[in-house]
Structure 1
Amino acid sequence: MPILVVLALVLALGIKMFFVQAFSIPSESMQNTLQVGDRVLVDKLTPWFGSKPQRGEVVVFHDPGGWLPGKTGEPNAVQKALSFVGLMPSADEKDLIKRVIAVGGDTVECSGSGPVKVNGDALEEAFVYPGNTPCGDKPFGPINVPKGKIWVMGDHRQDSSDSRYHQDLPGGGTIDEDQVIGRAFAVAWPVTRWASLSASR
């Protein structure tokens, strides 16, 4: 039995490190696509084979610096252990989840009540939270996204502190592709919300 337990933990850790990891949704910034408390599964494998973030994908990424406030509390030892082996969502890492709107080489902008335009083409964003405008309360651009960077926004445009609100930081609101942990591909919990997360353009 102890050997089986050890093997299970090693397998879980390996899956978390190289294949799939669970993340918990902490805020309303991705409604209605994702709700607070949803657990999403993130594909960490494809970036190993050179896959880059694509427009429309929902991605999890590390805080590039200054996007999230300081920690408000320390997880207990059990939470840390379960998070470490991937049996619980990340307990103390500072990660975010948003939708990729533009990638390196794109020009992105949004004026007035929208729509968001990428390289001059208006986006059809059916996923935007009902009642929100594509720009939310923060028109922007035009912004040239540097190579190796992405521009991200939450689906709940008026309740998402995303690239629009961090243009004063290094990177001008863009995220390094290297900061991306992976692509969220499914809602795993609660079971009543099981669903795949396909890229929307």
Structure 2
Amino acid sequence: MKPAKGAKQQRSFWKELPILIVIALILALVIKTFLVQAFSIPSNSMQNTLQQGDRVLVDKLTPWFGSKPERGEVIVFHDPDGWLPETPMQTNVFQDVMSFIGLMPSANEKDLIKRVIAVGGDTVQCKRGGPVKVNGTPLKETSYLYPGNTPCDDEPFGPIKVPKGKLWVMGDHRQDSLDSRYHQNQKYGGMVPEQEVVGRAIVVAWPVTRWSTLPVPDTFSQKGVESKASQAAATAANGAPAALGLAGAVPIVLWRRKRLQER
């Protein structure tokens, strides 16, 4: 007596489930490496734009096509010159594996997140009681500056000429951000080399109650700041790399099943 057709299909699905999982994990790893990666916000330096504990998705694709960080973008970058203290986080094997494939943000990667204020060739400055100026044009920062903060009263600076290939970055919570202003006596003069940039933060993905995109504020496009032409923006993903990997794996497995049935 032949088994029922439905039972055969059910057993076949469970037999191929491991293949689906493996393909999903591989795709998640590829997406994390080349397309988009999740990062956890560890401090209050970017309030109120980002809150401690938020998960942001970072576009890692457009830099592969020659796109460079622009003024006003929120970027993630590797610690350029000992900005972070030597305090390694304690993790377990499960966390390490999940971070490796992109299911969880890494706890040990020495990365920071700030807003690009000036790029190579710009002159940036800020006097006590005044606004931040880029190429002599004052920035209107009310849309992102933390309420009650001053642009730079705690640490005035400049004028500073940003070298080519470097970035001047600052946190949105100015009085709680150890940014470029506080590292001027180090190797890069407080600047971040472009090659240390991981990518641009494009969306707050978690918690869902805070879902939002991270556009460039209008003040950076005003006449005088002389912002570059915008590069093609990557579409913000709504899911983590693992979800994208699973979505990509499903049609591959279905295609394989069809080919096997045709033999």
| Aligned with residue 182 of structure 1, among 185, 192, 199 | 199
Question: Offset of 1:102 from its aligned partner?
Answer: 0.1
| Aligned with residue 133 of structure 1, among 150, 163, 168 | 150
CA distance in 2, matches of 1:6, 1:80: 18
What is the Cα-based RMSD across aligned positions, in Å? 0.8
List per-residue Cα deviations over 1:68-118 (Å, max 9, x = no partner).
001243211111111111111122100000000000000000001220001
- 1:87-102 alignment to 2 at 5 Å? 87-102=103-118
Provide structure 2 residue ranges, at least 5 long, that are not aligned to the other structure.
1-16, 221-263
Larger radius of gyration: 2
CA distance in 1, matches of 2:118, 2:106: 27
Q: Which residue of 2 aligns with 1:21?
A: 37
TM-score, with length taken from structure 1? 0.98
Residue 58 of structure 2 is aligned to residue 42 of structure 1: yes
Identity over aligned pairs, percent? 71
Question: Offset of 1:136 from its aligned partner?
Answer: 4.1
More helix by share: 2
| Aligned with residue 168 of structure 1, among 146, 164, 185 | 185
How many aligned residue pairs are there?
201
74-83 vs 50-59, which moves further: 74-83
Q: Which residue of 1 aligns with 2:128?
A: 112
Q: Which residue of 2 aligns with 1:151?
A: 168
CA distance in 1, matches of 2:129, 2:203: 31
Query: Which amino acid is the alignment partner of residue 46 of structure 1?
Result: T
Query: Which amino acid is the alignment partner of residue 163 of structure 1?
Result: S
| Aligned with residue 194 of structure 1, among 211, 215, 238 | 211
List per-residue Cα deviations over 1:114-141 (Å, max 9, x = no partner).
2000110001112110110011400001
Query: Which amino acid is the alignment partner of residue 84 of structure 2?
Result: L
- 1:68-79 alignment to 2 at 5 Å? 68-79=84-95
CA distance in 2, matches of 1:77, 1:114: 49
CA distance in 2, matches of 1:38, 1:60: 14
SS of 1:51's equivalent in the other structure is coil
SS of 1:37's equivalent in the other structure is coil
TM-score, with length taken from structure 2? 0.75
SS of 1:70's equivalent in the other structure is coil
Query: Which amino acid is the alignment partner of residue 173 of structure 2?
Result: H
More strand by share: 1
